[in-house]
Structure 1
Amino acid sequence: MGPPNCCFLGCDWLLLGTAAECVFPVCEGETQGHDAVSLVDERATQQKILQEASLKSVQKWKDTEKELRYVVRYIKHSTEAVVEESERVFCRLIRSIEKQSNEVKEVLRVQERAAVSQAEELLEKTQREILELRRAGAELERISQTEDHTGFLQKCKSLHFPTKTVEMPSTDALQYMMYKTLRGALPNLKYSLDETLEREFNRISDKVMSLKEPSNKSVPEKTKAKDTEIPYNSEPKTRADFLHYHHDIVLDPNTANPYLSLSDGRRGATTRSEPQPYPDHPQRFSSWAQQQQHFGDT
């Protein structure tokens, strides 16, 4: 039977020829100067420590996983709300442009109707004058056949053949408005609108990208909330409208009713049949199952 692998203290043995000696001089022969430590107890202690560390590590990673899932949901919900809001804004912008386009068309149509009405009145007058001239021409043709010179001279006095016609309407103003204005003002409007949209888009993009910078962590929470606040002129009705008012809340354990149990990183609470071991606090609710909440992560 060979020598043991280790001594009472767990020290390694060294084989010297046929004899076995402990490599630690403090451990010579029997246990001199110290008490023997049971290997079984030592293993049990180490095993318990490792098991507790394993449970704590697993729980910590599970909590991290839960927090990350919440972050993913929050990012998706927030992004969806912003996308829906941007769609509404651009739809309103398109409707506004269409409205302005219709108003410009209406102005042109009003000017067109006025000019056409004036021209049509002159056209009717011209047609009446032509009809009278044709009648006078027919009368002239008729009296020209008579041999009565006196009668001809008397009847021709009633015949009129004016050379001056109606005053033609000026088309310069209409032409100037339709060509000069449209070819000048409207392209300038398009350029200004494109420039404004590009400038605002770059400003919004820079603001969104700046949210990823670490320096924003030093910005006060109130200022960040104010910057991201979107004003509403009416009551929220859709899911996206309500998401604009979404805030992270953290429940206050100092005010929680004893029959409420906090969960989900102090973001949720569950009613219990037995009171929870909360310490005494002057602000703790005792009559109703309620508690205060804070905005943010603290």
Structure 2
Amino acid sequence: MKLINTKFIMMTIMLFSIVNLFGQNEIEIREGKKMMSLGESNAFMIMVPQINVKEFEKNWGKKLKEGSKEKVEKANDEMFILNAVKKRITSEPINIYSRFYETPNGIELVVFYQTLNGFISTEGDHEKASAVKVVLTEFGEEMYRLAVENELSNENSALKSLEKDLDKMIKDNEKMHKDISSFEREIERTKQEIAENLGDQERLSRDIEIQKEVLHRIAGATEEQLEVQQKKLDGLERDRKKLIKQNEKMHVDIDNLEAKIRDRERDIVKNNEEQKLKTIEITSQKEVILNVKKKLKSI
């Protein structure tokens, strides 16, 4: 019980300590020299939080292919497309080379845009560089939004699982109360049967005494007559022994039922404590979901 109470206190503290767990991660573009397959060139870099690398790679491949008939290729950890059509950036065919890296902060995407005049940079062509930054920012936000939507889906699933656990606890609790009521009714029925059994024992005891008196009175009767009356007495005594055993068994049954009631009562106390803890978990999870929704809205 002390352990449960400790958990209760800790989870209560945890619930009321949830403040700004999910800060907004702004998508920022950086620019600078980076190494790639053609040597050191100007690159645009973007960090996308949370996104899964496989999901990111799949969507970036689609983004490179978008609007172009050319094939997206991969070689030496570099994903690229040659002679791509990217009218938002330039009216000319453009080569796009990219690399991405998993980091503790998310996926870092490094992109090189090559035109006939060389690699795009803010210094060399401010207009094209600005267009690149817009395109990459939109893609980064799209990927971040996708990651947070996945996060929200997972957190909602976690909430449903917790609520399912609580529902089961409530049903278990109700069943245990029903069990106790059933055991109590069974005890009352058994007590009535014990009372009836004792009445039957008293009747048989009187019948046995009467039969003994009969045997005493016919002591001088024939052997056959005595044998008949003795068998009758033996039958009555067997019936009484049977009733005594039944009575003993019914008392054992009551003891067992009372033990089951005590077990259920202990389980109910434990269940009630677990319901409190689970309710705190659910409240905490709802707070998590609320923060994820806020984060999603802020993207």
TM-score (structure 1 length as normaliser): 0.35
Is the helix fraction higher in 1 or 2? Answer: 2
Which has the higher relative contact order, 1 or 2, with Cα contacts under 8 A spaced 6 or more apart?
A: 2
Pair member with larger Rg: 1
Is the strand fraction higher in 1 or 2? Answer: 2
TM-score (structure 2 length as normaliser): 0.35
